[in-house]
Structure 1
Amino acid sequence: MYPFRFKMILIIFFLLFTGIVVRLFQLQIIESDKYKGISKTRRLTSYALDSIRGSIVDRHGNVLAVDHHTFDITVQYKNLLYCAITYKNKTISRIPEMEVHKKTKKSCKECHEKQDVWLKKLSQLLNIQPEKLLEGTNQIIERVEKLKQNIEKKYGRAVRIKEETDFYPVAANVAWEKVIQIEINQDNFPGTRITPKPKRIYPEQELAAHILGYMSNLNEDEWKVHSNNWNNFILASSSAGDDTSSLLYDGYAKNDTVGRAGVESQYEEELRGLRGKRFEEIICKNTQIEKTVLERPSIPGNTLYLTLDSQIQAHAEKSLGKNLGAIVVMNPGTGEILAMASNPRFNPNTIDKDFSKLIRRPSKPFLNRAVQGALPPGSIFKIITATAALSSNSITTQTPFECPGYTKYKNIVFRCWSDYGHGLVTLEDAIPYSCNVFFFETAKMLGGDTLYAWAKKFGIGEKTGIDLPHEKSGNLPKTATTASVMNVAIGQGALLTTPLQLVRAYAVIANGGTLVQPHLLLKITNSRGETVRSFQSENTQKLQIPPAIISTLRMALQDVVTRGTAKDKGLDIYKVAGKTGTAETGRHKDNHAWFVGYAPYDNPQYCFAILVEHTSGHGGDIAGPIATELMSYLFPEMNPAS
């Protein structure tokens, strides 16, 4: 019984195997010419599907940057080529040499009578002259023909390249109503295709422009770098067993837009998404699309939630006005940046047409002064000098120095800002009245090494590590002489800081001794709204400052507002503690005016820095009123006018 079953199974397998062999013989030998003909007349072509770039929103979800769909009209290469020859008298060297052209006596218009239909119809629909629609065709044709020529030279025979089957743009940002008319009357527009294209929109115009950055096209060298990076990513993914491959997704294309400056650049990888691919079968003879074989949809970019409060940002920019300078508002406990204003600004929506004009302006509108403007801090630095002196026991809170308006070191005269001097002062008066002589004398006792070490602890001379590109570290000089230490002690000399560094330093006093990590990232979510990443601090340090010293400094900073250099500016109403600073530039009546502080002094919620560059006034007179304007928004319940 079993041998019989075994024989039947062998017979069945033999018959199946014979059938397969016979069918293969039929396909590959008998009907080979048929399928060779089909393979020669049909090809697979692919093109990328643009992804939607992720949105950028503030901490409350208010949209600051978003991709909107726009529509381009693209035309197949053969149609562009024909119209360029007939309408613009474009000469293509290879065409007269083609056999089909040598044998016919017909003109181009007689042979290809329908290949200019799209041009006439589109010109009427969009109310654009045909010459305007064909404006960029010369560059396209020259590029494709040169590529075709090089490839044919390499292989020694005529070939059809992929670029000959592609579609190329002739009209951009076409109105939706026009797009509908083209779609429902496709027969009237042969060889055309509606191509959706994302466009980056910044709804709030210039608001937070330096934080957001802007978009621009890749140049040739950048595209090569991105292409290499993408290829390496594909290889790494394949070796790791991931399903992401070049067959499914596409990297950057030539002339793709990428983030420039700001978080658009910093978080390019998270925002850009993955471009999909569509594979189509085409008939080679007329390059008509037969069918879509495979389509892999693009993956939208992630949404970036910033720590920014767009309302505080707007008020900070309003408070700064037309002054050249910056304002930073930060949570002193967490390092979250709530506002970062820099003036002058730019509009990222119009960067394409404005860039060449803006880049030449001496006011440097692309410079983010909050993180890239390294300037002498003036008297703002005195709080660090005081911390270093008290912590090292170089002085006590009761150490007095006489200020007659100047002091001498060897043959050098160091002057106080007050010509009449401040008399006998201790630290508790020296900070509120910003007595230079007190800190000159303190510097003699403190020494350069100790001052340098404590300034480093406060983050001076180093990048804060904020998630923005091109941050400046400033300059913290290692002082070789007592005279240079005296200059640095009052925030002058070779010392350079950024507004963000000073906000971070004063946050140490506000929060009780912690050097926080300033940051703009709150979280990143995917297209389903799931959080894929939240900010994790990597650079928070606890400074060993005795609580008694912090208490002394806090009281002195409070006195700056109530009885010192920021008196009668309206800041006491909002319980502000802070320090004014006037940094000399070396030119007559040209200063940088500072005010850095926190509020309210009994429970700090905000730490801030205000800088106005190149002004004839002093810190209290110039930056003080701006601080008051800012506080009126942050604490409306304390505003006496409300």
Structure 2
Amino acid sequence: MKTRPLAQDKSRYKVLTRRTLMLGGIQAGLVGTLAARMYYLQVLQADKYKVLAEENRINVRLLAPQRGRILDRFGVPLAVNQQSYRVVIVAEQAGDIDSTLNAIGTLIPLGDNERHRVLREMKRKHSFVPIMVRENLSWEEVARIEVNIPELPGVQIEVGRNRYYPFGDRVTDITGYVAPVAEKELTGEAVMELPDFRIGKAGIEKAQDLELRGTAGTSQIEVNAFGRIVREISRDDGRPGEEIATTIDMALQDFTMRRLRSEESATCVVIDVVTGEILTMASSPSYDANTFTQGLTNAVWGALNTDPHTPLNNKAIQGVYPPGSTFKPVVAMAALESGMITADFRVNCPGVFTLGDHDYHCWQHRGHGTLDLHGGLKNSCDVYFYEVAMKIGVDRVAAMANRLGMGELTGIDIPNERPGIIPTRAWKLARFGQRWVDGDTPSIAIGQGYIAGTPLQLATMLSRIISNRVIVPRLVRAAGVMEPGKPFDPDLGAKEFATLDFNPAHIAAILSGMNAVTNEQGGTAYAARITDPGMEMGGKSGTAQVKQITAAERERGIKKPEQQPWKDRDHAIFIAFAPVGNPRYACAVVVEHGIGGGKYAGPIARDVLRECQRRDPSRRVPPDPMIVAAAEPSVGAPGSPTPPPEKTP
């Protein structure tokens, strides 16, 4: 056996020692690097990674703010937030989803669309996330689900909050309604993408949407590694939306809607001529805003759209009608202010006005004889106003109509108002490429032909004549609600409106003629007068022709209005003010296809103005207890409160 030399062993030892030192150095370097990195992460960057860890553990979720209420002028709620109930299902607990949905469907109505939506959402969401099956459950439906919960795995009842309109269709045209945000309405705000967030789509809900929304809140939720909610750490409900006080007197609005329902289709507006506040603006038939918040079916939507009575339109601001003889005060004011006639200007009415080879008939075929302005208004003599309009010309009439708020937007503080039409020579040339001819003017004199306006414009026109100021109607009350127990200030909320600088004698002449219409025997609306002392009204009736009467029809004999189809009958229109001695309220009523203004629209104006004066706050009429009760949701019940019983006007 050979042995290695000692020198060779020492050389090998030196090589091993160098390798050991090298490996040790590398290990020491790695350990040092790791230690340095750990020091960097755990000490120097501790705050940063603590925040990141917390963000993974804690989710911050937006909460939809509580929407502000809408109130009437006395504080009666017109739009509120009501507790609602919905049934949800958790997929991981439900087992056989189809069987569970079938079981739910035996307890509450559940359509195919709702089933398909639930199945779609389950495919794109975690199995532990609750899926809404149906919302806005009635108390009876909640009870049926709760009783059967043990046989419905994964099914729960959740409490939410939705918009509720206590008076249904009686005030929808004013409040409007809310609905989910459409894709085209998204602005990038995160809160608008919340599934339970709603925005205003019409009326005050839309016009005051930003004020009513409030500010979104936040909820800090602790979740585990799988995203499952462990607990809520903190909650900030945000700032609720502002309360909006309207100018509406809900008791008067309720009375007006009930009164209008005596006709197939009608509308009524009352304006305070001092403040410009609208006390009632009713359009009948209307629709229940709650159907939009609770889920509108295709059948209901189709019925609303195809109804010939146009319930989806607010007729007060969207209905455009020839004003008929209610336009005669405008013609009178234009003639008086131009200086081309005085109140003593007299015209002989033989029953027809002839211009060239065309005859323009007066409604009174035997004629009225010789009349001044007072008699012309009292008897609504067409020939009188044919003569006056021909004397001053269409452009003077149009200029006065514009000053009085017709042919343009009034500026009311809700959307979708229509401007109507006030024709001029330039308008006809631009619209039809034809020159204005003398034969066009007589029709304008009696509110027919090319002319058209809304009921709100008619009420505004009368308000401006009475007040001699540029009244701008409004529905939002700047001064808030009228608080009980405080002294009544009749001018509270009045604005500084520009003056029209009309001659007071001219205003008095027109109002005197309108007073004669209702309060002097022989006036066209004498039968519709208010007989209560101190509440008397002045008015002006009008009939807006819907269908042109041909010469052949005239020869054969015109059918009585009642014999014509409803859609071919003339509109009945009436404007009025009260009380006569000190006018405070201006009213406009349109009864679609109602035949005669004094006979059909006049009594409505009479009843509404009498009730309006009876409810004047200066008379300190107590709140209507039925109205107050109707505004209060039923205690403990998720469904609609029971409305007050119908009353016959």
The TM-score range, normalised by the shorter chain, is 0.7 to 0.9
- Comparing 486-495 with 516-525, greater Cα deviation is found at 516-525
Q: How does 1:522-537 map to 2 (within 5 A)?
A: 522-523=477-478
Identical amino acids, percent of aligned pairs: 31
Equivalent in the alignment of 2:63: 49
Q: Which runs of 5+ in 2 are unaligned?
A: 1-34, 426-435, 482-491, 550-560, 562-568, 617-649
Q: Distance in 2 between matches of 1:191 and 1:295?
A: 27
Gaps of 5+ in 1: 1-20, 90-118, 145-162, 232-249, 527-534
TM-score by length of 2: 0.73
Q: Distance in 2 between matches of 1:413 and 1:179?
A: 71
How do 1:55-134 residues align onto structure 2 when only pairs under 5 Å count?
A: 55-74=69-88, 79-80=90-91, 83=94, 86-88=96-98
Which residue in the other structure is 1:200 paired with? 163
Shift of the 305–483 alpha-carbon distance from structure 1 to 2, 3 Å rule, reads: same
- Residues 213-612 of structure 1: pairs in structure 2 closer than 5 A: 213-222=176-185, 225-226=186-187, 228=188, 230=189, 250-254=191-195, 256-285=197-226, 287-323=227-263, 324-351=265-292, 352-353=296-297, 354-479=300-425, 480-511=436-467, 513-523=468-478, 540-561=497-518, 562-563=520-521, 564-571=523-530, 573=532, 574-587=535-548, 589=561, 590-612=569-591
TM-aligned CA deviation for residue 168 of structure 1: 2.8
Q: Distance in 1 between matches of 2:615 and 2:210?
A: 42
Q: Are the structure 2 counterparts of residues 252 and 465 from structure 1 closer, same or farther at C-alpha, using a change threshold of 3 Å? A: farther
Question: Residue in 2 aligned with 1:158?
Answer: none
| Letter of the structure 2 residue corresponding to residue 560 of structure 1 | V
Give CA-to-partner distance per residue, 1:206-231, whole Å, 9 cap, x none.
Answer: 22121111222223333xx33x3x37
**Alignment-derived partner of residue 645 in structure 2:** none
- 1:577 CA drift (Å): 0.9
Classify the secondary structure of the residue corresponding to 1:464.
coil
Per the TM alignment, residue 166 of structure 1 is displaced from its structure 2 partner at its CA by 4.7
Say if 2:530 and 2:537, in contact at 8 Å, map to a contact too: yes
Once residues 582 and 45 of structure 2 are traced to their aligned partners in structure 1, the CA distance between those partners, rounded to angstroms, is 88
1:412-467 C-alpha deviation (Å, 9 max, x unpaired): 21111110011111112101101111111111110122112111111110111101
- Distance in structure 2 (CA, Å) of the matches to 1:394 and 1:131: 70
Alpha-carbon spacing, 1:311–1:81, altered in 2? closer, same or farther (3 Å):
same
Name which of structure 1's ranges 276-285 and 190-199 shifts more when overlaid on structure 2.
Answer: 190-199
What secondary structure is seen at the aligned counterpart in 2 of 1:468? Answer: coil
In the alignment, is the contact (CA less than 8 A) between 2:93 and 2:154 conserved in 1?
no
User: TM-score normalized by structure 1?
Assistant: 0.74
In structure 1, the partner of 2:122 is 141
- Aligned amino acid, residue 435 of structure 1: C
Question: What SS is found at the alignment partner of 2:416?
Answer: coil
Displacement of 1:74 in angstroms is 4.4
Q: Contact (CA 8 Å) 1:330, 1:503: kept in 2 or not?
A: yes
CA distance change for structure 1 residues 181 and 379 in 2, over 3 Å: closer, same or farther? closer
CA contact (8 A) 1:380 1:579 kept: yes
Q: What's the secondary structure of 2:169's corresponding residue?
A: coil
Aligned residues: 529
Name the aligned partner's letter for residue 591 of structure 1: D
Q: How far does the alpha carbon of each residue in 1:380-438 deviate from its partner, in whole angstroms, 9 at most, with x for none?
A: 11101011111111111222211111111122211111100111111121011011111
Q: Output the CA distance in 1 between the equivalents of 2:285 and 2:513.
A: 34
Deviation at 1:257, TM superposition (A): 2.5
Please give the secondary structure, in 2, of the residue aligned with 1:450.
Answer: helix
Partner in structure 2 of residue 12 of structure 1: none
Equivalent residue for 1:172? 135
Q: Is the 8 A contact 1:507 1:607 kept in 2?
A: yes
Change (3 A) 1:520 1:569: same
**In the alignment, is the contact (CA less than 8 A) between 1:576 and 1:598 conserved in 2?**
yes
Q: Provide the secondary structure at the position in 2 that maps to 1:418.
A: coil
Give CA-to-partner distance per residue, 1:565-611, whole Å, 9 cap, x none.
11132335431111111111125642111110100111112111111
Residue 64 of structure 1, CA deviation: 1.2
Deviations 1:473-497 (CA, angstroms, capped at 9, x unpaired): 0001113222222211211111001
Partner Cα distance (2:55, 2:614) in 1:
75
Read off the aligned partner of 1:214 and give its amino acid letter: Y
The whole-number CA distance in structure 2 between the counterparts of 1:216 and 1:64 is: 17
Q: Please state how far the C-alpha of 1:345 moved relative to its aligned partner.
A: 1.1
Find 1:614's aligned residue among 589, 593, 603: 593
* Contact 1:452 1:478 survives alignment (8 Å): yes
Amino acid at match of 1:508: R
Inter-partner Cα distance in structure 2 for 1:549 and 1:129: 65
**Cα deviation, residue 357, structure 1:** 2.4
| Rounded Cα–Cα distance in structure 1 between residues aligned with 2:154 and 2:496 | 58
Larger RCO, structures 1/2 (Cα 8 Å, 6+ apart): 2
8 A Cα contact 1:554 1:577, kept in partner:
yes
Q: What whole-Å deviation, never above 9, does each CA across 1:554-573 have from its counterpart, x for those lacking one?
A: 11111111231111323354
Match of 1:350, SS state, is helix
SS in 2 for 1:568: helix
CA distance in 1, matches of 2:62, 2:86: 15
Give the SS at the match of 1:521: coil
Once residues 55 and 402 of structure 2 are traced to their aligned partners in structure 1, the CA distance between those partners, rounded to angstroms, is 72
CA distance in 1, matches of 2:56, 2:212: 38
2:363–2:382 CA contact under 8 A, matched in 1? yes
> How far apart in 1 are the matches of 2:214 and 2:119?
33
2: CA distance between counterparts of 1:169 and 1:278? Answer: 20
Q: Structure 1 residues 289, 491: CA separation in 2 closer, same or farther (over 3 Å shift)?
A: same
Name the CA shift for 1:489/1:541 in 2 (closer, same or farther; >3 Å). farther
Tell me by how many angstroms 1:50 deviates. Answer: 2.8
CA distance in 2, matches of 1:178, 1:623: 45
Q: Distance in 2 between matches of 1:182 and 1:401?
A: 78
State the AA in 1 paired with 2:497: T
Aligned CA distance change for structure 1 residues 334 and 211 (closer, same or farther; 3 Å): same
Which of structures 1 and 2 has the bigger CA Rg? 2
Q: Could you report, residue by residue, the CA deviation over 1:97-126 in whole angstroms, capped at 9, with x for unpaired residues?
A: xxxxxxxxxxxxxxxxxxxxxx79x979x9
Contact conserved, 1:42 with 1:281, CA < 8 A, in 2?
no
Query: What is the CA–CA distance in structure 2 between the aligned matches of 1:362 and 1:130, rounded to whole Å?
Result: 31
Q: Distance in 2 between matches of 1:130 and 1:408?
A: 69
Q: Which amino acid in 2 is paired with 1:603?
A: N
TM superposition shift of 1:276: 1.6
More strand by share: 1
Q: Offset at 1:171?
A: 4.9
CA–CA separation in structure 2 for the residues paired with 1:452 and 1:547: 21
Write out per-residue CA displacement over residues 319-347 of structure 1, whole angstroms, 9 at most, x where no aligned residue. Answer: 21242121001101111000011111111
Deviation sequence 1:28-77 (CA, Å, 0-9, x none): 49999xx99x95995433433232211111001111110012243545xx
Q: C-alpha separation between the residues in 1 aligned to 2:378 and 2:498? A: 28
